[in-house]
Amino acid sequence: MATIPYKIYLTEEEMPRAWYNLRADMKNKPAPLLNPGTHQPMKAEELAPVFCEELIRQELDNDTPYFEIPEEVFNFYKMYRPSPLVRAYCLEEALKTPAKIYYKFEGNNTSGSHKLNSAIAQAYYAKKQGLKGVTTETGAGQWGTALSMACAYLGLDCKVFMVKVSYEQKPFRREVMRTYGASVTPSPSMTTEVGRKILAAHPGTTGSLGCAISEAVEAAVTSDGYRYVLGSVLNQVLLHQSVIGLETEAALKKYDIHPDIIIGCAGGGSNLGGLISPFMRDKIKGIADYRIVAVEPASCPSFTRGKYAYDFCDTGMVCPLAKMYTLGSGFIPAPNHAGGLRYHGMSSILSQLYDDGLLEAVAVPQTSVFEAAERFARVEGILPAPESSHAIKVAIDEAEKCRETGEAKTIVFGLTGTGYFDMVAYEKYHDGKMDDYIPTDEELEASFSQLPRI
Ligand SMILES: *Cc1c(COP(=O)(O)O)cnc(C)c1O
């Protein structure tokens, strides 16, 4: 057997030419989106004012296993893909573990995360439909940046509603988006009806993803030639992100590597859903068995403390209802929560897999995440995004367990991005000003009591 290089790359010829739709192989399909008025499954024509046609088709398709990656999208992928699968030799040595650790690194593009994989696909279908532009929300800013890049490439207009607290704390993210030609509005704003309503009800609020989504949807449906696009949670986004998992699978196969544990951070679930898709397929089909672990922040614990229920995807309750593990659409994580992954809900696909016992989840406190991030940065060189560092934390924990037991397990985790724009959070950690606020049961119960009754 050849020794395994530090970085396993695929050639352009080996890159996947189709996205994989895990729903086609799921025995229990994810629950359908419901119309918030009638509580009936959303039909394509009801979604059409909000979303692009081809993306609706992908969203509603539970049966087609493969969707060919359009040539234009594939060409864009070639500018920054394939992403490397890295053998973390240095981390293994630092941990003195017999475990073999690999990470799939998605941070090698200007947007700094995996989000570009879906941004270019969504922008492409919008362009193909002849639209003028798209609207969206962004929290920490990675999705807005990715979408701005994709829109600039295709000559589409891009309107981003950025959660106000990030808009103020991350001016450089905002400027990257503007460099790529996007307009960026802090949310909640006075430019939409729902924004004005939220501001009237919660004066001085620094916003949330849920609010920004409501504003972006309103901006799309009230502007001619615009549709709304979303960077996570939706089935279509997991479909596009399957490129991460398919590349990982191909890279592992090249060296006959068989993972035991696959770990990813979970915000809305898109990178995790993409990373695990071919492995989950084999697990469902009984071809292979893996432990598949979702890692979430203890301050926003959708899987581990949420309810599996129909809920709104946004605060303004304008979006369809999705069945998912949720903390309630009114849940806003504590303001000291620095580590991203702050969405109240979770992908319907992952929610169903979790409910079926095919996926594990753990919640980790944020100081432990930054501790892991720093350990990783010092030996592997890459400065990880706080979101990604949730996966690092659990990968390290698993590798340390192997040190105790002497087992040489193979661990694969998703390193979704870089953390250059998160230095305020790192600073808080270094100065000892970061704490581990965890919501109380009472707070969660109060939020659950607002869940729609379906
Ligand atoms: C957005 C983001 C995430 C979380 O989103 P998912 O949809 O759960 O993947 C994780 N890591 C980085 C770097 C991100 O930008």
Q: For 307-333, how does the pLDDT look when each residue is reduced to its tens digit (9 = 90+)?
A: 999 999 887 777 899 999 999 988 877
Q: Judge contact between 87 and 37, C-beta under 8 A.
A: no
The count of domains in the chain is 2
Axis crossing angle, helix 142-154 with helix 116-128, rounded to the nearest 10:
40
44 falls within a domain: no
Domain boundary among 199, 230, 261: 230
Domain boundary among 230, 265, 300: 230
Q: Clarify whether residues 85 and 154 are in a common domain.
A: no
Residue 82 pLDDT grade (very low, low, confident, very high; cuts 50, 70, 90): very high
Could you tell me if the CB of 232 is within 6 A of ligand 1? yes
Distance CA 125, CA 417 (A): 25
Q: How far is the CA of 9 from the centre of ligand 1 (A)?
A: 22
Q: Clarify whether residues 307 and 430 are in a common domain.
A: yes
38 falls within a domain: no
Q: What percent of the chain is predicted at pLDDT more than 90? A: 89
Q: Clarify whether residues 308 and 202 are in a common domain.
A: no
Domain boundary among 203, 230, 257: 230
Q: Clarify whether residues 157 and 224 are in a common domain.
A: yes
Could you tell me if the CB of 266 is within 6 A of ligand 1? yes
Question: Which residues touch 201 (CB under 8 Å, ≥6 apart)?
Answer: none
Q: Clarify whether residues 189 and 274 are in a common domain.
A: no
22 falls within a domain: no
Could you tell me if the CB of 391 is within 6 A of ligand 1? no
Residue 433 pLDDT grade (very low, low, confident, very high; cuts 50, 70, 90): very high
Q: How far is the CA of 5 from the centre of ligand 1 (A)?
A: 27
Q: Clarify whether residues 151 and 205 are in a common domain.
A: yes
Could you tell me if the CB of 388 is within 6 A of ligand 1? yes
39 falls within a domain: no
Q: Judge contact between 161 and 208, C-beta under 8 A.
A: no
Would you state the structure tokens that stand for residue 7, as one six-digit string?
């970085």
pLDDT value for 363 = 97
pLDDT value for 209 = 84
Could you tell me if the CB of 402 is within 6 A of ligand 1? no
Distance CA 332, CA 330 (A): 6
Q: Clarify whether residues 269 and 321 are in a common domain.
A: yes
Give the position, in ligand 1's atom list, of the atom nearest the Cα of 272: 9
Q: Clarify whether residues 221 and 241 are in a common domain.
A: no
Residue 2 has pLDDT above 70, yes or no: no
Which is more confident, 337 or 319? 319
Residue 340 has pLDDT above 80, yes or no: no
> Lowest-pLDDT range, 248-262, 322-336, 366-380, 405-419?
322-336
pLDDT value for 284 = 98
- Rounded to an integer, the average pLDDT of 46-63 is 97
Give the position, in ligand 1's atom list, of the atom nearest the Cα of 112: 13
Q: How far is the CA of 406 from the centre of ligand 1 (A)?
A: 32
Q: What percent of the chain is predicted at pLDDT more than 70? A: 99
Beta strands in 244-320 (DSSP E): 261-265, 291-297, 307-312
Q: For 102-123, how does the pLDDT look when each residue is reduced to its tens digit (9 = 90+)?
A: 999 999 999 999 999 999 999 9
Question: Which residues touch 427 (CB under 8 Å, ≥6 apart)?
Answer: none
Which is more confident, 218 or 339? 218
Give the position, in ligand 1's atom list, of the atom nearest the Cα of 142: 15
Chain-wide mean pLDDT for the chain? 95
Q: How far is the CA of 113 from the centre of ligand 1 (A)?
A: 7
Q: For 265-291, how does the pLDDT look when each residue is reduced to its tens digit (9 = 90+)?
A: 999 999 999 999 999 999 999 999 999
Distance CA 419, CA 389 (A): 9
Distance CA 137, CA 184 (A): 9
Q: Judge contact between 147 and 229, C-beta under 8 A.
A: yes
Q: How far is the CA of 200 from the centre of ligand 1 (A)?
A: 31
62 falls within a domain: no
Q: How far is the CA of 266 from the centre of ligand 1 (A)?
A: 7
Distance CA 294, CA 280 (A): 13
335 falls within a domain: yes
Q: Judge contact between 229 and 265, C-beta under 8 A.
A: no
Residue closest to 9 by CA, chosen among 262, 252, 368: 252
Give the domain CATH number at 189: 3.40.50.1100
69 falls within a domain: no
Q: Judge contact between 445 and 136, C-beta under 8 A.
A: no
Q: Clarify whether residues 383 and 415 are in a common domain.
A: yes
- Please give the residue range of the domain that contains residue 137: 116-230
Q: Judge contact between 116 and 150, C-beta under 8 A.
A: yes
Mutation choice for ligand 1 from 136, 232, 302, CB with most ligand atoms inside 8 A = 232
Q: How far is the CA of 416 from the centre of ligand 1 (A)?
A: 7
Query: Nearest C-alpha to atom 5 of ligand 1 is from which residue?
Result: 267
299 falls within a domain: yes
Q: For 353-369, how does the pLDDT look when each residue is reduced to its tens digit (9 = 90+)?
A: 999 999 999 999 999 99
Residue 336 has pLDDT above 80, yes or no: no
3-class DSSP state of 433: coil
Q: Clarify whether residues 244 and 353 are in a common domain.
A: yes
Q: Clarify whether residues 364 and 418 are in a common domain.
A: yes
* E strand or H helix that includes residue 215: helix 209-221
Sign of the four-CA dihedral 51, 53, 58, 60: positive
Residue 443 has pLDDT above 70, yes or no: yes
Residue 1 has pLDDT above 60, yes or no: no
Q: Clarify whether residues 129 and 203 are in a common domain.
A: yes
Q: Judge contact between 213 and 319, C-beta under 8 A.
A: yes
